[in-house]
Amino acid sequence: MPNEAADLELAAVTKAYGETIAVDRVSLKIPAGTYCCLLGPSGCGKSSTLRMIAGHEFISDGDVVIGNQVVNDLPPAKRGTAMMFQNYALFPHLDVRDNVAFSLKMAGVGKAERRQRADELLDLVDMAKYGDRLPSQLSGGQQQRVALARALVTNPTVLLLDEPLSALDPFLRIRMRAELKRYQREFGISFVHVTHSQEEAMALADMVVVMNDGRIEQVGSPREVFNAPKTVFVAKFMGGHNVVPEGGKSYAVRADRIRLAQPGEAGTEAKVTDVEYQGMTVHVAMTRKDGTDLIATLPESEFDRSPVAAGDTVSVAWQPADRHELAA
């Protein structure tokens, strides 16, 4: 079974490439047994942070602490972490069983024991009957399961996942999301998962860490981060919010809290720029006279009661309680 779960802490961790600061004094505590998603746009520092935890990237300043041990100077194999890469990085010439057992072979574990352990892990990820196949004979979802088994075979205290679902088609991605969450619960260890997909982070994480420009913008549960974004960046990046400037400040209003009324009714006037049908909902994009862009997400039935089209002028309103103040 896995090692004891352990807290993971980053203390003012910095990564510099010459003059460029990729990760800027990031401090974060991930309690043992947490599914944590590092979320942000390309180039925000999330993958560099993950690689510093793994030991694949040198730390310019600060400390990575696992349990009660500073691991900065330990090689990857001695940290109690395991990494699952975006492209799975399976050895093409080894069969599935030997791929999973490879790290145990490097650690000097005997052939019978390591193959038994590999078979146990393949059984866990429903791949036991594929042990003799080569990676090229597997689908993308099957390769991902093998990569997961290979990462878990070393009994890590923390599993690190770098965009693990990005190579899969949308249907399979949703199914594998549910599987990753289930494995995390079963093993009881922390998963630290890098993604640029808000939907993925919200579906998987207990703890979402939104990063921007090498720094942490906000940490919280998916519901906290979505319902109470702290900054303009978080509100815009999470999507589903309108950022409305007023009196030198900004506030956010969720797109599903915006109502459309007829011109002349209470509200602010706007011109419809686009209408996008999304099945259960209809997205109506608008621009106010002051240039502020707004989006309303309406249930299909509500839109059908009073449809609008690009070029129409409408009145836009929301409840005062649905305004959420933002920091700069």
Q: Residue 308: name the closest of 288, 280, 283 by CA.
A: 283
In the sheet that 61-66 helps form, which strands lie side by side, from edge to edge? 20-30, 8-17, 61-66, 69-70
Q: How many residues does the chain have?
A: 328
| Residue 206 pLDDT grade (very low, low, confident, very high; cuts 50, 70, 90) | very high
Looking at residue 247, its pLDDT comes to 80
pLDDT in tens, 265-296: 678 899 999 999 999 999 999 999 999 999 99
**pLDDT, mean of residues 216-239:** 95
How many percent of the chain have pLDDT more than 70?
97
Long-range contacts, 135-142 (Cβ 8 Å, 24+): 135/88, 135/90, 135/91, 135/92, 135/96, 135/99, 136/92, 138/96, 140/167, 140/168, 140/169, 140/172, 141/168, 141/172, 141/175, 141/176
Helix (H) or strand (E) holding 317: strand 313-317
pLDDT in tens, 163-201: 888 877 888 888 888 889 998 998 899 999 999 999 999
Looking at residue 77, its pLDDT comes to 85
Tell me the backbone φ, ψ of residue 179, rounded to 5 degrees: -70, -45
* Whether 312 contacts 271, CB under 8 Å: yes
Between CA 233 and CA 285 the distance in angstroms is 20
- Give CA angle at 168 (164, 173), nearest 5°: 80
How many percent of the chain have pLDDT more than 90?
74
Q: Residue 226: name the closest of 178, 180, 218 by CA.
A: 218
Looking at residue 1, its pLDDT comes to 44
Strand partners, 249: 246
Between CA 123 and CA 132 the distance in angstroms is 13
Q: Is the pLDDT of residue 2 over 60?
A: no
Using CA atoms, how far residue 101 sits from 132, 209, 257, in Å, is 13, 33, 52
**pLDDT, mean of residues 215-235:** 95
CB atoms within 10 A of CB 17: 9
pLDDT in tens, 58-100: 999 999 999 989 999 999 988 999 998 877 788 999 999 999 9
Domains 8-227 and 250-325 share a fold: no
Between CA 265 and CA 259 the distance in angstroms is 11
* Whether 275 contacts 310, CB under 8 Å: yes
Strand, coil or helix: 33: coil
- Indicate the domain borders of the chain: 8-227, 250-325
Looking at residue 309, its pLDDT comes to 95
Beta strand 61-66 pairing with 8-17: antiparallel
**Domain 8-227: CATH architecture, name and number where available:** 3-Layer(aba) Sandwich (3.40)
| Residue 229 pLDDT grade (very low, low, confident, very high; cuts 50, 70, 90) | very high
Q: Is the pLDDT of residue 328 over 70?
A: no
* Whether 225 contacts 252, CB under 8 Å: no
pLDDT in tens, 118-132: 999 999 888 999 999
Between CA 328 and CA 295 the distance in angstroms is 21
pLDDT in tens, 85-96: 877 788 999 999
Looking at residue 192, its pLDDT comes to 97
Question: Which CATH class for the 250-325 domain?
Answer: mainly beta
Between CA 209 and CA 237 the distance in angstroms is 12
pLDDT in tens, 20-30: 999 999 999 99
